[in-house]
């Protein structure tokens, strides 16, 4: 007859194994906190650059709520936004690949695909919504809208990755909602939401799962 001690530790290991398999197979856990820090830095630098650019081009961003911009200004803003997005995406991919190689985790799994789909739905809707806002010259609403839809996307993707991400999502939503009532400071809220929050969140997560 096997000793109780042996059986105990076997069953205990069984439970640990079950939990880890459920976790590994249903959640995308290769996302590194460092990619959050990188995304935050690129948003911070990009946002501050835009503030400076407004100054040198004598656009008084904080004076008006019913801003109407020329085509070239809009093109420049969208261009800078795209660069920030691309830098953030490249860093996310880079750190994900690095982390998954380090821990020998598969990347392209069912959980990864699920997470990307859950992220993509609110983001795509938000992007098209912003295009419509720009078309009708409602520029002042673009910053809050990006924060809100991004926050919703994170909350939505929570089931398929580290659940901490929902706290970041909720904070983005709160910043977005507050900025709706202080429209003229949209860019400042945008820098807080996409810059500062990402950096803080990234550092916290990086330390926690190191």
Least separation in angstroms between CB 154 and another protein? 21
* Given 68, 75, 86, 106, the residue binding another protein (CB under 8 A): 106
The verdict on 15 binding another protein (CB under 8 A) reads: yes
CA 196 and chain centroid, separation: 12
* Given 9, 18, 89, 124, the residue binding another protein (CB under 8 A): 18
- Taking the least distance from each CB to another protein, the nearer of 12 and 208 is 12
The verdict on 12 binding another protein (CB under 8 A) reads: yes
- Distance between CA 55 and CA 163 in Å, rounded? 40
The verdict on 137 binding another protein (CB under 8 A) reads: no
* Given 101, 110, 137, 163, the residue binding another protein (CB under 8 A): 110
Residue with tokens 């919703």: 152
- Taking the least distance from each CB to another protein, the nearer of 14 and 65 is 14
Query: Quick count: other Cβ atoms within 10 Å of Cβ 205?
Result: 22
Give long-range contacts, CB 8 A cutoff, 24+ apart: 62-68: 62/184, 62/185, 63/184, 64/184, 65/140, 65/183, 65/184, 66/140, 67/139, 67/140, 68/137, 68/139
The answer to whether 45 and 171 are in contact (CB under 8 A) is no
Task: Give the sign of the dihedral formed by CA 172, CA 51, CA 125, CA 26.
Answer: negative
- Distance between CA 1 and CA 210 in Å, rounded? 42
Least separation in angstroms between CB 160 and another protein? 10
The verdict on 101 binding another protein (CB under 8 A) reads: no
- Taking the least distance from each CB to another protein, the nearer of 25 and 137 is 25
The answer to whether 148 and 170 are in contact (CB under 8 A) is no
Least separation in angstroms between CB 14 and another protein? 6
The verdict on 7 binding another protein (CB under 8 A) reads: yes
The verdict on 14 binding another protein (CB under 8 A) reads: yes
- Taking the least distance from each CB to another protein, the nearer of 15 and 72 is 15
Residues lying near another protein in the complex (CB under 8 A) are found at 7-8, 11-12, 14-15, 17-19, 21-22, 24-26, 106, 109-111
């Amino acid at each position: 007859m096997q000793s109780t001690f042996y059986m105990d530790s076997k069953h205990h290991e069984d439970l640990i194994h079950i939990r880890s398999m459920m976790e590994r197979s249903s959640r995308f856990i290769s996302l590194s906190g460092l990619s959050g820090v990188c995304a935050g830095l690129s948003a911070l630098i990009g946002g501050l650059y835009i503030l400076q650019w407004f100054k040198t081009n004598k656009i008084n961003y904080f004076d008006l709520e019913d801003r109407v911009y020329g085509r070239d200004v809009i093109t420049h803003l969208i261009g800078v936004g795209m660069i920030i997005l691309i830098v953030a995406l490249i860093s996310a991919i880079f750190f994900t690949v690095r982390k998954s190689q380090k821990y020998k985790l598969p990347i392209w799994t069912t959980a990864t695909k699920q997470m990307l789909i859950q992220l993509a739905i609110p983001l795509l809707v938000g992007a098209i919504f912003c295009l419509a806002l720009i078309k009708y010259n409602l520029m002042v609403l673009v910053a809050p809208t990006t924060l809100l839809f991004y926050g919703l996307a994170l909350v939505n993707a929570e089931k398929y990755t580290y659940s901490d991400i929902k706290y970041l999502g909720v904070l983005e939503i709160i910043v977005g909602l507050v900025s709706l009532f202080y429209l003229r400071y949209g860019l400042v809220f945008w820098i807080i939401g996409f810059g500062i929050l990402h950096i803080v969140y990234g550092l916290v997560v990086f330390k926690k799962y190191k």
